[in-house]
Amino acid sequence: MEKKIIIFTRDDATSKNTERILRKKLDNTGYLVTSSYCPDADLLVCIGGDGTFLEAIHKFDFPSMPIIGINTGHLGFFQEIMPAKMDDFIFNFSNNKYSLQPLSTVKIQINTKSGETYEHIGLNEVIIKNSNARTVHLNMSIGGSFIERYSGDGILVATPAGSTAYNYSLGGSIVDPRLNLLQVTPMAPMNTTAYRSFTSSVLLPSELSLDLIPDMYEESALSIIYDGFRKTYDNARSLTVSFSDIKVNLLRFEGYDFWTKVKSKFL
């Protein structure tokens, strides 16, 4: 049966030219190539940077098929292949010389005062902030036990895959994606005689959830940001952040090593 490959490309000249070359190579190899989503496709190829990769998985609602990235961006942490290595990629994929790396996702559930419930999924992280850039006050519980009344710019909850993204910029730890945990990182926490907030990241095992109840003096909306996508809720009663059952399967080839990539990108 002819294998189907979806190509999702960033709208810039370099990425479009890379797509044109890749399409020709895949056509010559006998693959059926499309830009439209097909649930039975064998592979999703994202051409661009990490932002393109995240845009693709959200647009296609976290597809279960394997995903590979060709890096025409800057950092390219998710992007496995450089454009000059497309022939190697096609050869290894055609000969099943690859493995799958499942990446965990994080889920945030928002319960509103009117009784409605909303959910959002992030591969990198979810962020809870005050929508008007004021200090956010959140009563925080972990696994059902009250921890503190947090005050600061916001809270970021990162997956291991997202530990090298915004979480790292905030001073959070780099986490090997083979570990099943969530990292709760404060954003400009207040730690004075009036406000006591934790000032370093907290690591949670996969079975525990983070529960948050807004505690605002004034009527204020919350911004929920997941992988750069933003939603605003002006009547949030409570929020729960936890591991999601959804996995993203990255295609990895022989020789890939997470810590070698960390060294090449950050050190």
Residues of the binding site for NAD(+): 50-51, 124-125, 153, 161, 164-169, 188
Q: In terms of Cα–Cα distance, which of 167, 162, 153, 243 is closest to 205?
A: 243
**Residue 88: active-site member:** no
**Is the Cβ–Cβ distance between 197 and 186 less than 8 Å?**
yes
95-126 b/e (C-beta count within 10 Å ≥ 16 → b): eeebeebebbbbbbebbeeeeeeeebbbbbbb
Here the tokens at position 136 are 């956010």
The span from the CA of 160 to the CA of 196, in Å, is: 27
Active-site residue, from 50, 87, 227, 257: 50
Report yes or no: 172 and 156 within 8 Å, Cβ to Cβ: yes
- The set of catalytic residues is 50
